[in-house]
């Protein structure tokens, strides 16, 4: 028995991941050196303490009720957890595995913390490249479609999209060059995101979309009025001026079976009417809305 224990201890001590072992009374009976170093804890803080106390020190929510399943099913369970310690955020895959005696009975449970922070950071960067606009850091078209898809099939929600097309943007590019056009896009993107939060997308060129869920009539009217003012921008170069404004098409749909292509078709009609009517204004798809 002692040889088996020593062999197990040597194996656990050689592992590069932080881990501890607890008995079936939830008392910590073994901790490897990597765990102490990783979480900056001492032997006295951890050894033979209740696992709940350790989790409290780590500021991590780990459901120890799963231990019943581990013991009964004799299987490993895995979850992903983020730990904030000393203003340092790390993401771990946490594995809880049974340890058996020579009768194949579960006598203890090992908890192992595999640091996947670098992997998560790479995933976040890739997602940013895939779903964020490179110039403004707003959602791009793919990010918008993903967002809308996440809201579909919910009959209890209504989604309102403000489709924005900048007026005189081509004139700005032709007069001052694309550098000034990019500057205008960044300024307007910043204004819109500061006003509306994370629900703003740039879907290409000078086109933006703002998304609202279950917004009331009065709030929508106030927001539209404010957004029209945020879209007004004057740029100057060599005593020459170009004024930017925005035309807005507003489409409201139930989240049940949302169809992005149908939304775009309605938006095109609204924006066309706004442009024909003189730009710098709003057209609603819903006839019940009146400005």
H/E element holding 39? Answer: helix 33-39
Residue 1 scores a pLDDT above 70: no
Domains and their CATH numbers in the chain: 2-120 (3.30.450.20), 132-284 (3.30.70.270)
Residue 164 scores a pLDDT above 90: yes
CA distance 235 to 171: 11
Alpha helix positions (H), 164-216: 169-176, 178-196
Helix (H, G, I), strand (E, B) or coil at 115: strand
8 vs 267, more confident: 267
- What are the structure tokens assigned to 42, written together? 């001492």
Residue 95 scores a pLDDT above 60: yes
For residue 61, what pLDDT band results from cuts at 50, 70 and 90? confident
For residue 224, what pLDDT band results from cuts at 50, 70 and 90? very high
Mean pLDDT of 44-58: 92
Residue 177 scores a pLDDT above 50: yes
Residue 175 scores a pLDDT above 50: yes
What pLDDT, on the 0 to 100 scale, is given for residue 291? 40
């Amino acid at each position: 028995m002692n040889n088996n224990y020593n062999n197990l201890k040597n194996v656990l001590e050689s592992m590069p991941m932080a881990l501890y072992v607890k008995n079936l009374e939830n008392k910590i009976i073994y901790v490897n050196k990597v765990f102490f170093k990783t979480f900056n804890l001492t032997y006295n803080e951890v050894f033979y303490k209740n696992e709940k106390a350790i989790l409290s020190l780590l500021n991590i929510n780990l459901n120890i009720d799963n231990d019943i399943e581990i013991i009964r099913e004799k299987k490993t369970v895995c979850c992903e957890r983020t730990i904030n310690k000393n203003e340092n955020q790390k993401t771990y895959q946490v594995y809880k595995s049974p340890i058996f005696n020579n009768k194949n009975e579960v006598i203890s449970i090992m908890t192992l913390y595999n640091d996947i922070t670098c992997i998560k950071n790479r995933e976040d960067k890739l997602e940013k490249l895939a779903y964020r606009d490179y110039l403004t850091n707003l959602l791009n078209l793919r990010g918008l479609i993903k967002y809308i898809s996440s809201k579909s099939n919910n009959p209890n929600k209504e989604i309102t999209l403000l489709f924005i097309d900048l007026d005189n943007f081509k004139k700005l590019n032709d007069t001052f060059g694309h550098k000034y056009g990019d500057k205008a896009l960044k300024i307007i993107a910043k204004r819109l995101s500061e006003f509306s939060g994370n629900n703003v997308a740039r879907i290409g060129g000078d086109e933006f979309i703002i998304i609202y869920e279950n917004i009331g009539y009065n709030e929508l009217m106030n927001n539209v009025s404010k957004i029209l003012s945020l879209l007004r921008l004057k740029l100057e170069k060599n005593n020459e001026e170009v004024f930017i404004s925005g035309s807005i098409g507003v489409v409201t749909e139930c989240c049940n079976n949302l169809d992005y292509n149908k939304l775009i078709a309605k938006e095109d009609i609204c924006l066309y009417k706004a442009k024909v009517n003189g730009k710098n204004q709003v057209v609603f798809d819903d006839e019940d809305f009146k400005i």
